Amino acid sequence: MKKKIKISALIFIIAFMGIIIGRWSAAQNTDSIYEDLRTFTEVFTTIKKNYVENVNPHELIISAIKGMVNSLDPHSAYLTPEAYKEFQTETKGEFGGIGIQIGIKDGSLTVIAPIEDTPAWKAGIKAGDKIIKIDGQSTKDMNINDAVSKMRGPKGKPVTLTIQRDEWKQPKDITIIRDIIKIKSVKYKMIDKEIGYIKLIQFQEGTAQDLANALQSLKESGMQSLILDLRNNPGGLLQSAVDVSEQFLPPKHLVVSIKGRTGDKIDYYTENLRTAYTDIPMIVLVNQGSASASEIVAGALQDWGRALIVGVQTFGKGSVQSLIPLSDGSALKLTTAKYYTPKGRSIHGVGIMPDIVVKLESKNGKEVPVIREKDLEQHLKGEKVEPQEKAPQEVDEKDDTQLQRAIDILKSWKIMEKLKKAA
C-alpha cells in the first residue's frame, strides 16, 4: 500500500509539474508542452502497471532524463551523483580507467584519440577504432557516459574491448588492465640545444603552472625558440586555456569570447600573472585530435600573429559546456555557448586551419580514419563552412614529418634573424 502511495504521489508531482510548465508555456504559445508532459505521465503509469517485470520508478525517470539530455548534442550529459564525483576527480588529472576519448560516429562508439602513456595507448588502441563490445556487452545504442562508466574501474582490473578496425577482416578482443590515470599534462625537452619542445597532453587545473615551470627550465637550458605541441590534446578546462595563452601574449589581449543563445558575450583577456614569453619565435603543432581548449590556444595565437600553426585541420569543437549541480548531488553537463577566436571566428564543426599544412605519411601509404566534431552524432552545426582537409596519415614518432618541419622552420627563422642583424 505504501509503495502504491509513493508511486501515486510521484505521478501527481509529475502531473503537477506539467500543469505549471503548461501554464508558463501558454504565455509563449507553446501549449503543446503540457500535452507532451501528460503523454509522458501516461507512458510512465502504463509501463509501471503493465510491463512484464517490476520496474523501479526512480530508474525509469533517470532513464528519461538521460534520454532527454542525450538528444541534445554529443557533449551534454546527465551525471548521476557518482558520475559527478568522478568527473570532478578527472579534471584534477587522476582517475581509474584506461585513458581514451570517445564519441559516437555513424551509430558506433568510436575512439577519437587515446591519451598518451595510458593503458589504452600502450595497448595499441587507435583513433577511428570502433568499440563494438565492452566486456562482451554490445555498445549498440549505448551512450557515451554509460560506456565511460563501464571502462572506468579499479587499478589492476581488466576490461576487454572488442575492436573493429577498417584494416582488419574480423573484430579483435583487446584486454586492457586498468590503471590510475595520472595525466601528466606537460612534457618538455630541448631539441638541438636551442629549440624548446613542450607537449601539452590535456588542460587541467595545474596545467598553466606546469607550463610555466617547463618554460623556465627550458629557458635556463638555453631555449631560443619554441615548439608547442597540441596534437591529440582533447582539451579540458576553459580557464586553463586562457592561462596557457597568456604566457605567450602581452597583457590585455583577447584570448577567446563565448556567446550563448541570448547573444550575450563574455570576453577572456590575458592578465599575465606569470612570466610571459611574448617575443620568442614559436610554432604550434596541431592535428585532427586537437580539440576544444587546444583550439582556443591555437586560434588565439594564430589571430594575434604570435605563432605559426603547423599540421592539419583540428577537431572543431567550439562549444562550451557548463557544469550545473542539481539538488540531489547529480549534475548537468550542458552545452550553453560557443566560443570565438579574437577575430570573431566560430570554429565549431570546422576547426583551426594551419598556416602551413603538413600531413603525416605512413610507410604503407594508407589513410587512417579521422574523427572530427562534424562527424559526431547530433553535433551542433558550425556557423561557417571552410574547405575540409583529407585525413592525415598515421606515422611513427621517429618519422614525425610535422615535428621535423617545425624544427626546420625555426632553424630558418634563426638564420633570417641573423641576416637581418648583419644587414
Catalytic residue IDs: 292, 303, 317
DSSP alpha helices (H): ranges in 135-189?
144-151
What cell does 37 get?
Answer: 508532459
Of the candidates 414, 390, 221, 396, which has an alpha carbon nearest to the alpha carbon of residue 312? 390
Q: Which residues contact 322 (CB under 8 A, 6 or more apart)?
A: 333, 334, 336, 337
Sequence length of the chain is 423
CA atoms within 13 A on the CB side of 171: 14
Q: Which residues contact 336 (CB under 8 A, 6 or more apart)?
A: 260, 261, 320, 321, 322
Taking the CB of residue 299, how many other CB atoms lie within 10 A of it? 26
Containing H/E element for 387?
A: none
Of the candidates 242, 187, 195, which has an alpha carbon nearest to the alpha carbon of residue 214? 187
Q: At what angle do helices 2-26 and 57-70 cross, to 10 degrees?
A: 30
Containing H/E element for 94?
A: strand 94-97
Q: At what angle do helices 32-50 and 57-70 cross, to 10 degrees?
A: 140
- Strand, coil or helix: what is 351? coil
Residue 194 near residue 418, CB atoms below 8 Å: no
Q: Hey, which bits of 239-286 come out as E strands?
A: 254-260, 265-269, 282-286
Taking the CB of residue 284, how many other CB atoms lie within 10 A of it? 28
